[in-house]
Structures are given as structure tokens and as C-alpha cells.
Amino acid sequence: MYTVPIKPVPNEILAALHRLTKNELRPHGLPTYMVKGPLREGKTLHLRNLDPLGEQEQFECRTRHPEMVEVLSIWLGEQVVKAYYHELQPGQQIYPHSDTDRYFTLVDRYQIFFDITSEHLVIHGGLKPVLSSNFLHAFDASVTHAYYNTSDAPWGFYVIDCVKPEYKTRFAFR
């Protein structure tokens, strides 16, 4: 399975994630990305966007909401290098894609889905995984994945990248 539920997200972390302002939602990336990138629909709130290799095209390379990044790092026991919330409006999608840059060999990717229903579709490796609301899911970003909001309300989820344990000593971000 490409997406695996690991553990429930504590209520105090869920509440803190929900409190983050949606006024900060904006397009996911650079203008060229917004024309053809897989996340060209929907809006994103970046909590942290750092590239340990310095190879990815950066549109925002800083930490916002550092207190939330610290809470996530402590809870996960791992160093968070990228974290963002992406929200899809009704009828929007994240187009099928896989994440295969060298960056993804250095990180473990996780996702947290809020109040997921049958109208929130996640396709991963051609399959529809069983997802649990308010759970941390391990996620293999190298497998083709896509998301569809067929509901009549906005739907969002968090993506969190942590430096793999074997690389922790090479990269220090605080």
C-alpha cells in the first residue's frame, strides 16, 4: 500500500492546525507552475518550505508559523523541512503526478486529512486507499497520485516532509 495510516493526530494539534488563518491561502507556486503544475487548482498555506539540497525552484524559502512547525517536529520526532496545507474548492483537483526530484530521497512524506468523506477522492498508484480522518498517513510521493473534491464544500489536508533519520546530521533547520 502506498498510503498507510500511522497514528491519530492529538486533538490539541488538530485544533492548532485548524486555527491557522485561511487568509494566508494563496497559489501553491511560481506563476509558471500555476499554468501547468499539478497543484494549479486550489490554494496553499506554507508553514515551512526548505530544500536541504538547494536544488528545487524556491518560491518561498522561510518558515511561517514556527511554533506550529516546532510542535509538529516534536510530535513526529523528526525534523520538518516542508509543511503546507492545500485546500481544494468544490470541483477542483490536484492533477495526477509523482514527486521524483532528488529531494524526495531525503525525506519521509506524511499527510493529514481532515474529515474525509466519500466525496474527497484520493487516487494513489491507481488505487483508492482507505484513509482515516485526523490521522497521520505515511505517503509514497514517488507513486502517481491525484486528489479530487467532488463535494459542495472546500476540502483541505496537510502535507509534511521530514528529513529521513539517516540524513538528520547533514541538515539542521530550526
pLDDT tens sequence across 117-134 = 999 999 999 999 888 999
CA-CA distances (angstroms) from residue 38 to 61, 65, 107, 118, 161?
20, 25, 20, 22, 18
Q: Which CATH number is associated with domain 3-167?
A: 2.60.120.330
CA-CA distances (angstroms) from residue 107 to 32, 33, 58, 118, 139?
25, 22, 17, 29, 11
- Average pLDDT in the chain: 84
pLDDT tens sequence across 33-78 = 666 788 889 998 888 877 666 555 554 546 778 889 899 999 998 8
What is the per-residue pLDDT for 106?
A: 87
User: How do the residues of the chain divide into helix, strand and coil, expressed in percent and rounded to 5?
Assistant: 20, 35, 45
What is the per-residue pLDDT for 174?
A: 44
What is the per-residue pLDDT for 130?
A: 84
C-alpha cell at 80: 520538518
Specify the higher pLDDT residue, 4 or 87: 87
What is the per-residue pLDDT for 27?
A: 76
> Would you say 7 and 136 are in contact if contact means Cβ atoms under 8 Å apart?
yes
Would the pLDDT of 150 be above 90?
yes
Residue 98 to residue 25: CA distance in whole angstroms:
23
Identity of the amino acid at 158: Y
3 state SS of 142: coil
3 state SS of 100: coil
What is the per-residue pLDDT for 41?
A: 92
Q: What is the mean pLDDT of residues 14-38?
A: 77
Q: What is the mean pLDDT of residues 96-112?
A: 90
